[in-house]
Amino acid sequence: MAPGTVIVRALQAALLAGLLCAAPGSRAGGQASVLAAIDAYAPRMGEVADALWHNAEPGYLEQRSSALLQRELREAGFSIEPGVAGMPTAFVARAGNGHGPVIALLAEMDALPGMGQAAVPGHSPLHGQPGHACGHNLFGAGTVAAARAVARWLHDSGRPGEIRVYGTPAEEGGSGKVYMVRAGLFDDVDAVLHWHPADRNSAAQSGSMANVNGRFRFAGLASHASIAPERGRSALDGVEAMNHMANLMREHVPVDARIHYTISDGGGAPNVVPASAEVWYYVRHPDPDVVRGVFERVQNAAEGAAMGTGTRVAYTPLGGVYSLLPNDTLGRVLDSALRASGVAAPDADAVSFARSIQQTLAQPPALETLTAIADYGIDGVSHASTDVGDVSWTVPTAGLSTATWAPGTPAHSWQATAASGHALGHAGTRTAARAMALAAIELVGKPDVLKQAREELDRRRGEHFDYRPLLERDTPPLDYRATR
Ligand SMILES: [Zn+2]
Ligand SMILES: [Zn+2]
């Protein structure tokens, strides 16, 4: 398909519907102007995405990435509050005209350790280096593009309203957004929109998995493993006994629960009884209360294992997030915006890149998925987790996925890293920016829709909802990636 075909088709449809023939200050004129602003910024958006991709900074270490996103926003007239909620790389950027609705867009930016890969359609790892295997470089750049266009529209139209960008670090296991929610930074926000790189275009809303993760460090007594094993107490035995109990527990937890671990320190040498060993656990389930209960049992298993092996155990909580609470009212606004703005079709080079990537995937869906828009729905539950969850229980929130990766590509794969550093990723990012910007200006002008979205949130949370974060830390684990 020729570049831009789908956008052209969407614009033709809009013209036929009389949407874009209106005066600049009108709703349709506003839509045309924000889409034009995003398209004009698209080359720079690609540069920003690539800069983040090349810098690939893991959670809480996103200094250069955060600074670049802030710079792009400052240049577009945003005022920036950096270092919020005790996180040096978090920020809130604001633009607009006071006393109107506050629409917030989320911007993630962290990379994954060890996932470095060249932007080529074959496995070409950059050994030991972090990489954007979840496409958060695109996430940050696309959100900034949308926000700049909305800020310009607010400025030109004089409409009351505020557009905000929340620069949210350490999504991958660091729960950055939860600290921002706890600090009350979302309390005066009317709606939150976000997006995520994916292998398809969809504004369908779904739930997700709440989770808790943390490390259990066992302490024993070192001794010669052959000459004097009776004088030693193996910290690794503590880890193994705990894991055995957790594995038995799998039969006796709700069926949707997930328990996974890695032994992050198994001792040094087999001829030394390990004095120190560590295991890192995750527990997930769609219901935050189930996660709380199962994790408590895992903690009990750790205590039991320590007692039985003559070791001691110390628990360090790392992260905890709620499930996503979908919002149908906002989801439908995003879906309409996606259909109205159309899919920014990738160019021939990007399509050929996607085709080559697909040859490395087992049974990928049709390549045409790149430019299709999935049906809208709200009933599914994704097995992923995200710290957007806590935001979604606090403010009406909806998200979008766009095709930045070859159809069939899973997140956290080398194929995702490669596409996130390629024009293929840029095309999907442009689709996301266009849809989010249209949805944002739609919401600024529709206080009744914002009210409905808030009522839906209240209904879904239930009458007696009391937000108790799953996160058990007072301060963010700013070094959780530094030591990996
Ligand atoms: Zn991820
Ligand atoms: Zn992600």
pLDDT in tens, 199-219: 999 999 999 999 999 999 999
Query: In angstroms, what CA-CA distances link 353 with 47, 174, 179, 244, 254?
Result: 19, 32, 39, 45, 42
* Centroid of ligand 1 to alpha carbon of 413 (angstroms): 10
Give the per-residue pLDDT at 23: 53
> Do residues 42 and 430 lie in contact, with contact meaning Cβ atoms separated by under 8 Å?
yes
Say how far apart CA 219 and CA 214 lie, in whole Å: 16
Does 152 share its domain with 179? yes
Which pair of structure tokens corresponds to residue 472? 């058990």
| Rounded (10°) angle between helices 423-444 and 447-461 | 100
Q: Tell me the average pLDDT of the chain.
A: 94
Q: What is the pLDDT of residues 261-285, one digit of tens each?
A: 999 999 999 999 999 999 999 999 9
- What domain range is 297 assigned to? 210-321
* Centroid of ligand 1 to alpha carbon of 411 (angstroms): 6
* Centroid of ligand 2 to alpha carbon of 144 (angstroms): 17
Does 284 share its domain with 192? no
* Centroid of ligand 2 to alpha carbon of 424 (angstroms): 17
Is 7 inside any structural domain?
Answer: no
Q: Which of 296, 321, 346 is the last residue of a domain?
A: 321
- In this prediction, what percent of the chain has a pLDDT beyond 90? 90
CATH of the domain at 229: 3.30.70.360
> Do residues 467 and 377 lie in contact, with contact meaning Cβ atoms separated by under 8 Å?
no
Q: Are strands 161-168 and 210-219 parallel, antiparallel or unpaired?
A: unpaired
* Centroid of ligand 2 to alpha carbon of 78 (angstroms): 25
> Do residues 213 and 305 lie in contact, with contact meaning Cβ atoms separated by under 8 Å?
no
* Centroid of ligand 2 to alpha carbon of 203 (angstroms): 16
Q: What residue type is 6 in one-letter code?
A: V
Q: What is the pLDDT of residues 7-45, one digit of tens each?
A: 545 544 544 444 444 454 577 788 999 999 999 999 999
Is 219 inside any structural domain?
Answer: yes
Q: What is the pLDDT of residues 414-436, one digit of tens each?
A: 999 999 999 999 999 999 999 99
- In this prediction, what percent of the chain has a pLDDT beyond 70? 94
Q: What is the pLDDT of residues 326-361, one digit of tens each?
A: 999 999 999 999 999 999 999 999 999 999 999 999
Q: What is the pLDDT of residues 130-156, one digit of tens each?
A: 999 999 999 999 999 999 999 999 999
Query: Does position 1 have pLDDT exceeding 60, yes or no?
Result: no
3-class secondary structure, 244: helix
Give the per-residue pLDDT at 3: 39
Does 229 share its domain with 107? no
> Do residues 427 and 421 lie in contact, with contact meaning Cβ atoms separated by under 8 Å?
no
The residues pairing with 94 across neighbouring beta strands, listed in sequence order, are 79, 164
What single DSSP character describes residue 405? S
CATH of the domain at 371: 3.40.630.10
Query: Does position 80 have pLDDT exceeding 90, yes or no?
Result: yes
Is 479 inside any structural domain?
Answer: no
Is 36 inside any structural domain?
Answer: yes
Give the per-residue pLDDT at 25: 58
Q: Which of 321, 337, 370 is the last residue of a domain?
A: 321
Does 250 share its domain with 131? no
Q: Which of 321, 351, 386 is the last residue of a domain?
A: 321
Does 165 share its domain with 71? yes
* Centroid of ligand 1 to alpha carbon of 410 (angstroms): 10
Across 110-132, average pLDDT: 96
* Centroid of ligand 1 to alpha carbon of 386 (angstroms): 8
Does 270 share its domain with 361? no
* Centroid of ligand 2 to alpha carbon of 199 (angstroms): 13
Give the per-residue pLDDT at 274: 98
> Do residues 429 and 52 lie in contact, with contact meaning Cβ atoms separated by under 8 Å?
no
> Do residues 58 and 132 lie in contact, with contact meaning Cβ atoms separated by under 8 Å?
no
Is 482 inside any structural domain?
Answer: no
From the CA of 113, the nearest ligand is 1
Query: Does position 457 have pLDDT exceeding 50, yes or no?
Result: yes
Confidence of residue 65 (pLDDT cuts 50, 70, 90): very high
Is 480 inside any structural domain?
Answer: no
